[in-house]
Amino acid sequence: MHELLPLAQAKLLRVQAAAHRHPRRVAIAVLSLLGGFALTAFGIAPLAPDAAALPQRLITEELQVIGLEAQLDQLSLHSLELNRHDLTRSGDTADTLLRRLGVLDPGAAVFLRQDQNARRLLDGSSGKMVQVRSTTDGTLLELVARFPALDSARQSTHFTRLTVSREQGQLRTTLETVALKPQTRLGSGIIRTSLWAAADEARLPDAIATQLIDIFSGDIDFHRQLQKGDAFSVAFEALTADDQVISWNEGTGRVLAAEFVNAGKSLKAIWYQDSPSAKGAYFSIDGSSRRRPFLASPLEFSRVTSGFAMRLHPILNTWRAHNGVDYSAPTGTAVRSVGDGVVEIAGQQNGYGNVVKL
């Protein structure tokens, strides 16, 4: 083996030297060889039969599905169940609530009106979380409602679970007080009409939407700069009732991280706290504080009715300079200070009504 290797290398060197001395002859030889292959292929290809001239046959065979009748019999014996959920609304009755949930069961509606525990579903405030399980014909199998604990002192830590179940053809109720469980949740939405509508569509509590406004209000004027197509993503702490984020506790959760895209500009915030006893704050990705010296607006949502300009005085009916900005908002809208300051006046003044001067 060791003797053949030097001989092969010597022959290869002689072939390379011949190719350098007579490149023309080598090229002609290679072309002649390739031409021979082409002629051979041209001579052989026509010998293949024409596919269109080959005989064709259509074969039809019935396939037997084994056990189809047995499967249909088993399927007919299987009862389907439907699950739906919704929130109670102001003015709901037993009939309207069940109809909205796809339950067509007059007996269940009568039971909800007459049973002492079941009547708690429609008594008091709206917004109770309701989940039903029914048959395909609309017969109620089970109804589970979750709402604030009946004991007001425990509403921040517990919730009430009302269960209406069908046992041996009869509806029965159970009422339980269960502890709320903290969880970390994710949510995202796209602004189509308003931030509140987008938060509702993403099933985020109102408290989380309010925190988003507080976090980014130094960069975004939410009543003038919010645009259709803006988007947000948020990670937040939440208290849950049977793994469902509750909507009735305004103090629920804290935003842990958030991103808001406004007019194509991405703003990010992360909550940081050294220790449980220390005061935390929100920071950008680069470590800078998100706290701004001034807010973009003193109101969360409103519209400017008058700015710095000459205007017709609404009472004196004369043209005067207006040295301020007037906002219009629904009664009860919270007014915020745009910056830190000391309160000089807090009370009523003629022509202004309730006044707070910083």
At 37 the pLDDT is 44
In a shared domain, residues 336 and 257: no
Between 4-21 and 23-44, two packed helices, what is the crossing angle to 10 degrees?
100
Per-residue model confidence (pLDDT) at position 105: 93
Q: Are residues 191 and 278 in the same domain?
A: yes
Q: Tell whether 204 and 279 lie within a shared domain.
A: yes
Identify whether 346 is part of a domain: yes
Which of 283, 314, 333 is the last residue in one of the domains?
283
Structure-token match 């399980």, residue found: 133
Nearest to 283 by CA among 273, 275, 297, 294: 273
What dihedral angle (degrees, nearest 10) is formed by the CA atoms of 23, 24, 28, 30? Answer: 10
Residue ending a domain, among 121, 155, 179, is 179
Provide the pLDDT for residue 86: 93
Q: What is the pLDDT of residue 17?
A: 58
Residue 19 lies in a domain: no
Residue 292 pLDDT: 63
The per-residue pLDDT for 42 is: 45
As given in the structure block, the two tokens for residue 210 are: 């309010």
Nearest to 223 by CA among 263, 195, 189: 195
* 12 in any annotated domain: no
If we measure between CA atoms, which residue out of 211, 209, 210, 214 comes closest to residue 292?
214
Q: Which of 125, 160, 179 is the last residue of a domain?
A: 179
Burial class (CB in 10 A: 0-12, 13-18, 19+), 205: buried
Whether 190 and 232 map to the same domain: the answer is yes
**How crowded is residue 67: how many other Cβ atoms within 10 Å of its Cβ?**
9
- Say what the pLDDT of residue 128 is: 93
Q: Which of 145, 88, 153 is nearest to 117 (CA)?
A: 145
Q: Residue with structure tokens 């007037």?
A: 326
pLDDT at 176: 95
Please check whether residues 120 and 190 belong to one and the same domain: no
Residue 340's pLDDT is: 73
Note whether residue 153 is domain-resident. Answer: yes
Taking every pair of Cα atoms in the chain, the longest distance, rounded to a whole number of angstroms, is 120
Do 243 and 168 lie in a common domain? no
Q: Could you identify the residue written with the tokens 């003044």?
A: 349
Distances (CA, A) of 106 to 112, 132, 163, 170, 191: 10, 15, 18, 14, 40
CA distance 324 to 304: 11
Q: What is the pLDDT of residue 21?
A: 59
Same domain, 202 and 272: yes
Domain extent at residue 189? 182-283
- How many domains, in total, are found in the chain? 3
- Residue 3 in any domain: the answer is no
CATH assignment at residue 221: 3.10.450.350
- Do 217 and 142 belong to one domain? no
CB 159 within 8 A of CB 241: yes
Q: Are residues 134 and 203 in the same domain?
A: no
Give per-10-residue mean pLDDT for the chain (358 aa).
55 56 53 46 55 81 76 76 92 94 94 94 92 92 94 88 93 94 91 90 85 86 86 91 79 84 93 84 86 60 56 71 69 72 81 77
Question: Would 229 be classed as within a structural domain?
Answer: yes
- What three-state secondary structure class fits 108? helix
d(CA 197, CA 47): 74
Instruction: Kindly report the pTM of this predicted structure.
Output: 0.53
289: three-class secondary structure by DSSP: strand
Residue 68 placed within a domain: no
Q: What gap in Å lies between CA 243 and CA 192, rounded to an integer?
A: 28
Same domain, yes or no, for 147 and 203?
A: no
Same domain membership, residue 236 and residue 152: no
For the chain, helix, strand, coil in percent to 5 are: 25, 30, 40
Give the pLDDT of residue 145: 96
142 and 171 in a common domain = yes
Residue 94 lies in a domain: yes
The pLDDT value recorded for residue 266 is: 94
Tell me if 239 sits within 8 A of 246, measured CB to CB.
yes
